Amino acid sequence: MNTIPNSPKNDDGSRDDDVEDFELYRTPLSDIPVENMRTYAEYAGLEKTTHWHAGLGWIMMDGEYYEAAIEEFQKALDLDSKAWVAQEGISRCYDGLKKVDLALEWMAKATETVPANLSFLVQGYFLPRVAPWLSSIGDHDRAIKAWKEVWEYEMWDLDHLTSYIWELHDGERPQDLIDLILEINGYESKARDFVDSLLVKLLAWNYDVFKPVGIACNAVNACAARDTFLAACDRAIAASDIYASETEEQTPSYCLRSRVASFMHEYCDKTTEAIALWQKTIDLLNEFTAKTGQTFISARKECTNAICQLEFDYAVDAKDKGEDPSKWVESLQDRARFSAGLISEDEENWIYGTGYASMIYGVWLRDYGGAEEEAWRKCFRAAIIQGIDLLNDEDPDNDQIA
């Protein structure tokens, strides 16, 4: 067996003579000195061809030795000016060096020289890198064009579709975004995955598109498109429920309902419907918890916090108008209570949770309910009280800590 120079020492100071036992791949490349990389590459005595220099360059690049890698890629190009692998490598090195203009320049060269039989690499690998670079320098028009080409190459790739949607949003192209949503709603699913269109699949498995779609709908007052989107949301919820029943994976169903409720509230002026959907989500969570013991604390908290904020606003509005806010306050109080902490039926002895719902109820008691400090203080985290005290004292230097 051969001995690899400078291979790691054993505990007794010796080195392994067995190449098969030297697990170099387990060592992060950034932990290997760049000089050693060259030593390892030269050890086999192979001819230093274009491929040899390009391969060494990629190893150096993966170790974040970008300048050294560029030198190797340039040597590869000196041997073959159309070595697109080296051109792509130089592009990615300049990306690592935060030199986006040079990264784009070299990726353009790689795109021009990549062989026709490997042209799929342009849409599959090159453009998904180029598009974010273009976006980072504010060239949204070219970034949109790039993402469009990437998406059209593989339309059912949800990550690429989401990136395309967000680039349309960042590039302030609301009508194009709406047109895209309507387009993908018409693409019928052929796979047995409980969804009937690309839009429904996107909504069922990716929750990052609600904000850009909502903003676009409002920007161009696309009422019909908004209704189409909401109808797709209903179908996506149904698909998620089927998936949950067959796999016992509940998270997608609950997360989707919460996102749809937020969309209704923020972009559709459907607050009543949103509250009902948040409450339906909580009810389903409670049912599932009773069956399995799984609590889904984060999902329940998200829905509860949203409802509590609205109930607080309604209660304040009613009080300002001289109306009776009690129904909102009572509901807010019920949601804020941490029932496991009940130590007495006496109202003063309720123990409240330490989350947002509890604190907003404490704000009501303090600012609008006329409660004594002893009553509202127990709705707040101890850390929150400490922060308030720091803000209220006469020392401005500790305000940042608070």
**Tokens in use for 345?**
């039926």
Average pLDDT score, the chain? 85
Question: Higher pLDDT residue, 339 or 140?
Answer: 140
Say whether pLDDT at 388 is over 70: no
Question: Higher pLDDT residue, 35 or 385?
Answer: 35
Q: Count of CB atoms within 10 A of residue 41's CB?
A: 17
Q: What is the pLDDT of residue 233?
A: 96
In Å, the largest CA–CA distance within the chain is 91
**Tokens in use for 389?**
């005290």
Mean pLDDT lowest for which of 2-6, 11-15, 42-46, 397-401?
2-6
Q: What is the pLDDT of residue 193?
A: 62
Q: What is the pLDDT of residue 399?
A: 61
Q: What is the pLDDT of residue 8?
A: 45
**Tokens in use for 330?**
């009572």
pLDDT band at 385 (very low <50, low <70, confident <90, very high): low
Q: What is the pLDDT of residue 347?
A: 44
Mean pLDDT lowest for which of 9-23, 227-241, 259-273, 386-400?
9-23
pLDDT band at 290 (very low <50, low <70, confident <90, very high): confident
pLDDT band at 343 (very low <50, low <70, confident <90, very high): very low
Q: pLDDT tens digits for 191-222?
A: 656 788 999 999 988 888 999 999 999 999 99
Say whether pLDDT at 105 is over 90: yes
Half-sphere exposure of 274 (CA within 13 A, CB side): 24
Say whether pLDDT at 241 is over 60: yes
Q: Count of CB atoms within 10 A of residue 25's CB?
A: 7
DSSP assignments along 115-166, one per residue: -GGGTHHIIIIIHHHHHHHHHHTT-HHHHHHHHHHHHHHSTT-HHHHHHHHH
Mean pLDDT lowest for which of 5-19, 69-83, 167-181, 333-347?
5-19
Of the chain, the percentage scoring pLDDT greater than 90 comes to 59
Mean pLDDT lowest for which of 8-12, 248-252, 342-346?
342-346
**What's the mean pLDDT in 117-129?**
94
Q: What is the pLDDT of residue 351?
A: 41
Say whether pLDDT at 108 is over 60: yes
Q: pLDDT tens digits for 15-35?
A: 444 444 444 445 677 788 888
Q: What is the pLDDT of residue 27?
A: 64
Question: Higher pLDDT residue, 229 or 393?
Answer: 229
Q: What is the pLDDT of residue 293?
A: 78
**What's the mean pLDDT in 113-124?**
93
> Any idea which residue has 């070219």 for tokens?
142
**What's the mean pLDDT in 93-104?**
97
Half-sphere exposure of 45 (CA within 13 A, CB side): 1
Q: What is the pLDDT of residue 190?
A: 66
Q: pLDDT tens digits for 146-195?
A: 999 999 999 999 999 999 999 999 999 999 999 999 999 999 876 656 78
Q: Which are the contacts of 4, defined by CB distance < 8 A and separation ≥ 6?
A: 19, 22, 24, 40, 43
Question: Higher pLDDT residue, 323 or 299?
Answer: 323
pLDDT band at 389 (very low <50, low <70, confident <90, very high): low
Distance CA 226, CA 220 (A): 11
Beta bridge partners of 197: 188
